[in-house]
Each structure stands twice: as structure tokens, then as C-alpha cells.
Amino acid sequence: MTLSVENLSKKFPANDFYSLQDVELTVKKGEIVGLIGKNGAGKSTFLKLIAKALRPTTGKIEYNGVDINKKENVLEDFGIMIETVFYPELTVLENMVFYLELHDKNEYRDNIQKTLELVGLWQARKRKPGDFSFGMKQRMALALALVTEPEFLLLDEPFVGLDPIGVGNLIGILKKWSKTREISMMISSHQLGELEELCNRYVYIENGRLKESIAHQTNNVLLIHLTKETKTLSFLESPEVKLLPGNILELTAKDSIDLNRIFAELGEKNLIKAIEVKENKLKDYFKN
Ligand SMILES: Nc1ncnc2c1ncn2[C@@H]1O[C@H](COP(=O)(O)OP(=O)(O)OP(=O)(O)O)[C@@H](O)[C@H]1O
């Protein structure tokens, strides 16, 4: 099961520029791809094209080898949270029931309570989302996207409006789903820390173009600031070690590296000034 995007472009008639241009991407089963980029970069446009909420100007999107714009019901197993799609005059519970009826998925009725509990709306199940706060509306949309335990999730800014406990619960369930049920996900977010907990890789979109594909950094990287310049350390040749400008040693903490030996040598020579853990700095992609 894969999603494959070929040469995808979208230009809105009102604009003289492309909101998305020549994007190529493949998402495999169980993969979680984070979509990052500045405001207006084209992330939502991309997700809407995949969700069939927009039609491409050019290009093709295939799911399991089927062109989604040439056949009906290809997205049946997708859970989509892009724009708020509930009925403000129905209660939360009625919205959930109606959604399942509309999609002919009544077999998931038993999931309603646990899904509403997950997003923190079970207590509010008899209220109408029309009067909800922004965050609660987001959670309603999220509950609808999750209730059918879909095979593929498209989530646009799912963490916005959730409190820290809600974010933690959501990350937990999405991680579990990707592992145990191999659900694939594309998630756009400005909350880079949350994405980093979840994603296998990221794509950085800039002015409608897929600028960079970024692998998730799985190993901890340590930066050791040295007290003085040195070129005589015995471990400088190992592939996990890099000497950076400014007398900084970068160490990738893999099993293959003998940290005890390295720290013993550095300590013996009084070379350790400070140590920091280097984060996977997704935010660096936003600097240019
Ligand atoms: N319906 C539309 N009609 C005209 N232009 C649009 C439409 N939807 C989006 N755009 C334009 O397309 C570009 C990409 O917008 P998009 O919403 O995809 O960005 P985004 O990366 O999701 O931004 P944000 O991080 O702010 O949500 C923007 O210049 C936006 O103004």
C-alpha cells in the first residue's frame, strides 16, 4: 500500500503563481511524513489535493496504483482532518454517529466513546460544536478523522488547540497505530518538536516546491566544546566523530562508538569545556 505523487502542481485561477509545483513524493505503508514549511508555502494545498478537496492543475496522485481523480471511493480508508467538517447544530455524539452513517461505516460505532475520550470530548458529547472554542472544534474534527481507524491519515495542523496532555495522548496513539497497524500518515505542523516525536521523515516545502526531504535523526548527537584546539586525538578518524570549526567535537552516539574511551582521553587532556545534546534542528530549514 503506497501513496505516490507525481509531478503535482496547483495554480488557483485567482493567482499568477503556483501554490504547489512539480511535487514528487511516495509514502509507504506505516510511514509518517511530516510536512513543514513557512506560512503560505503550500502544505494545506498539498494535503487538500491528496484528499480530493482540490483538483490538481497538472500531475497525478495514485493510491495503491489507482489514480484518485479517475475513480470514486479510492479514499475510503483515509482519515482526513483538513478543514472543520462537522455539523454545528448536531451534538458531538450525533456528529460522530452521522459521520459513520454517511460513510457507511456503522461497524465503528463502538469506537465512538474511546475516540472522544482520546481527544477529550467525551464529557462534552451532548454539546453542539457550533459553540465550541477553536481548540475544541479542532478536537471534534480530529475525532471524526480517527474514529474509523483509517489506513491512511491526512492531518493538517492536528496539534493546534490541544493542551499538552491532549498532544501527548494524540502522539501516543498515532505512534502506536503506525507501529501495530502500519498506518501511514502525512501531518503538516509548525510544532516541530511534536513532529520530531512522531515522524520517520520530513519534507520541507518552500514557495510550492518540495525543497528538501529530511531523514529523522535517530541517534543522539553530542557536541563537546573543547578547551583548546587539538588535532592529536586518537579517535578523530572514526566515522562517528567530526571536528567542527570552533573546537567542537560532534559525536554520534551509536553502539559502535566507545564513549568511555573518548571521554577518558578528553578528560585526561583536560579538553572538556562543555557538553550539549544536539537536537534534530528542523527549525534550521526555516532560516534562509
Ligand atoms: N483557494 C485559494 N485561492 C487562491 N489562493 C489560494 C487558495 N488556497 C491557498 N491559496 C494560496 O496558495 C498558497 C499556499 O497556501 P497554503 O494554504 O497551501 O499554505 P500553507 O503552507 O498551508 O500555509 P500555513 O502554514 O499558513 O497554513 C498561499 O499563497 C495561499 O494564499
Same-domain check for residues 211 and 264: no
In the prediction, which pLDDT does 288 show? 64
Same-domain check for residues 182 and 227: no
Same-domain check for residues 203 and 225: no
Q: What is the pTM of this model?
A: 0.82
Q: Closest ligand 1 atom, CA of 47?
A: 18
Tell which of 215, 231, 258 closes a domain.
Answer: 215
Q: Closest ligand 1 atom, CA of 45?
A: 18
Q: How many angstroms is it from 68 CA to the middle of ligand 1? A: 22
* Residue ranges, the chain, pLDDT below 70: 1, 279-280, 288
Helix (H) or strand (E) segment spanning residue 7? strand 2-10
Q: Taken in order 181, 185, 190, 192, is the CA torsion positive or negative?
A: positive
45 touches ligand 1 (CB under 6 Å): yes
Same-domain check for residues 10 and 123: yes
In the prediction, which pLDDT does 280 show? 60
In the prediction, which pLDDT does 1 show? 62
In the prediction, which pLDDT does 70 show? 93
Tell which of 215, 245, 265 closes a domain.
Answer: 215
What's the CATH code of the domain at 176?
3.40.50.300
Q: Count of domains in the chain?
A: 2
Q: Closest ligand 1 atom, CA of 42?
A: 18
* 34 Cβ contact list (under 8 Å, min separation 6): 187, 188, 189, 195, 196, 198, 199, 201, 202, 203, 282
Q: Give the pLDDT confidence of 21-32 residue by residue, as tens digits.
A: 999 999 999 999
Same-domain check for residues 121 and 228: no
**Residue for cell digits 545534546?**
277
Which residue's alpha carbon is nearest to atom 30 within ligand 1?
Answer: 40
Q: Which domain covers residue 125, as residue numbers?
A: 3-215
Instruction: Indicate the pairing of strand 152-156 with strand 58-63.
Output: unpaired
* 127 Cβ contact list (under 8 Å, min separation 6): 91, 92
Instruction: Say if CB 54 and CB 10 are below 8 A apart.
Output: yes
Report how far residue 173's alpha carbon sits from residue 57's, in angstroms, rounded to the nearest whole number. Answer: 35
190 burial (CB, 10 Å; 0-12 / 13-18 / 19+) is: middle
